[in-house]
Amino acid sequence: MADLIALSTRVIDGGSSEGVGPLNRINHELSALADDVAMVEAFSHSIVFKTNDGLVVFDTSGAAGGTRVVEAIRGWSKERFNTLVYTHGHIDHVGGCGAFLADAAAAKTPRPHVAGHENVARRFDRYDLTNGYNLTINARQFRGFGRRGYAIGGEEGKFLPAASAKPDIAYRDSLTLSVGGLDFDLHHAKGETDDHTWAWIPSHKAICAGDFFIWNFPNAGNPQKVQRYPVEWAAAMRTMAAQGAELFLPAHGLPIAGAERIRRVLIEVAETLEHLVGATLAYMNEGAKLNDIIHSVKVAPEILERPYLKPLYDEPEFVVRNVWRMYGGWYDGNPAHLKPAQDQVLGAELAKLAGGARALTGRALEIMTAGGDLRLACHLIEFAVSAAPDDAEVHAARAEIYQKRRDSETSLMAKGIFGYASGESLAKAGIEDPHKR
């Protein structure tokens, strides 16, 4: 059993995660963290509490790993599952629900309760409404990461696994769940989602934080998903920081122990989000355009070096866009974008000016090869491919440029989208895709 708390203490106090391996581990191993408290590391972790009336489990992990999570828990306790708590309705947290229900059915114990915020059920309804869209964006987000089994639910063609039960215990603002002599104070706050729960467990001086803390830059900007809430997120971090928790249990990455250490990292995440919101709003209030704002608002590089603020999943530029979306409209301030020309029409016109789609392509490759601005090279190659959508040579260049762009980015979200674009063009150019799953 890995000593996860010793590891996180070393990483936080040392200020660097170098040499400690991935912090978001998916090994389906259980670690006992305190008397009657355990964590199974998985696509989302399951955090398990023993009570006098069975187990309470925060998050069920994804569909692909649910069974292994249950097996790991069974190696630690044979008590029945009394209640499952969803920290929110993302599929890496609710997808494993079926494995827990199946365990109860096989053992002929009562079906576990499922607790969560009232918006979890609305999310599930939305997933039904947008099933195809969600499959598409997940394919883009996780392209080339070899995690299909984790990213996608249990059934082919279905984003939300059918066995993921809606909460039968739903609440709006807060709820104290008392199970077998143990109290769980569930608190709602918006952050990554509008259905988030974090919990304070007084007798363990512990917080279950869900995805408010993910050992990565906060997922407050995801380009393909519905609105995130950086302001409320920061406020929730400050509320959690004030609890005096001795044990902090996020749904991804390592647990953290020690009241002062916990307070310090939570405040740092809050301050970083508050900075992005404040700076973006200041520009908005001056009448700046979105494009100018995303090129102006930054997070200090030394902050992004913190082992729990690295932009490896989401990134600050995307958060800026989400702040704009939260407080503004979709109009970005560029009047040509209000009612834009069709991409093909604009591409064809620019190709004509440049001397053809191949000329645009040549310039894009030149910029890339010279180590120039890949943002610019991507614009040019998009114009070229819009002008010549069936030209294999143009697509071969586009595939190369987006692969290079992918490799130059840090965040999984940018890597996924650029890598997916590269794959699209490899297919059009008739070149075999080494990343194809």
What is the contact surface with Zn ion in residues (CB under 5 A)?
44, 92, 211
The residue (of 297 and 312) whose beta carbon lies closer to Zn ion is 312
Q: How far is the CB of 211 from Zn ion (least distance, A)?
A: 4
The residue (of 87 and 425) whose beta carbon lies closer to Zn ion is 87
Q: How far is the CB of 124 from Zn ion (least distance, A)?
A: 16
DSSP 213-278: --SSS-S---TTSS---HHHHHHHHHHHHTT--SEEEESSS--EE-HHHHHHHHHHHHHHHHHHHH
- Chain center to CA of 371: 30
The residue (of 54 and 253) whose beta carbon lies closer to Zn ion is 253
Q: How far is the CB of 91 from Zn ion (least distance, A)?
A: 9
Distance CA 395, CA 421 (A): 10
The residue (of 215 and 418) whose beta carbon lies closer to Zn ion is 215
Q: How far is the CB of 104 from Zn ion (least distance, A)?
A: 24
Q: In the 8-state DSSP scheme, what is residue 202?
A: G
The residue (of 250 and 316) whose beta carbon lies closer to Zn ion is 250
Written as six digits, the tokens of 9 are: 């203490």
Q: How far is the CB of 215 from Zn ion (least distance, A)?
A: 11
In the bound state, the residue with its beta carbon closest to Zn ion is: 211
Distance CA 211, CA 257 (A): 17
Q: How far is the CB of 138 from Zn ion (least distance, A)?
A: 13
The residue (of 209 and 281) whose beta carbon lies closer to Zn ion is 209
DSSP 336-385: GGTSPPPHHHHHHHHHHHHTSHHHHHHHHHHHHHTT--HHHHHHHHHHHH
Asked if residue 20 lies in contact with residue 269, where contact means CB atoms within 8 angstroms, the answer is no
Q: How far is the CB of 13 from Zn ion (least distance, A)?
A: 26
Q: How far is the CB of 43 from Zn ion (least distance, A)?
A: 8
Asked if residue 60 lies in contact with residue 99, where contact means CB atoms within 8 angstroms, the answer is yes
Alpha helices in 30-178 (DSSP H): 66-74, 91-94, 97-107, 119-129, 131-141, 148-151
The residue (of 211 and 315) whose beta carbon lies closer to Zn ion is 211
Q: In the 8-state DSSP scheme, what is residue 329?
A: -
Positive or negative, the CA dihedral 101, 103, 105, 111 is: negative
Q: What is the CA radius of gyration of the chain?
A: 23
The residue (of 44 and 51) whose beta carbon lies closer to Zn ion is 44
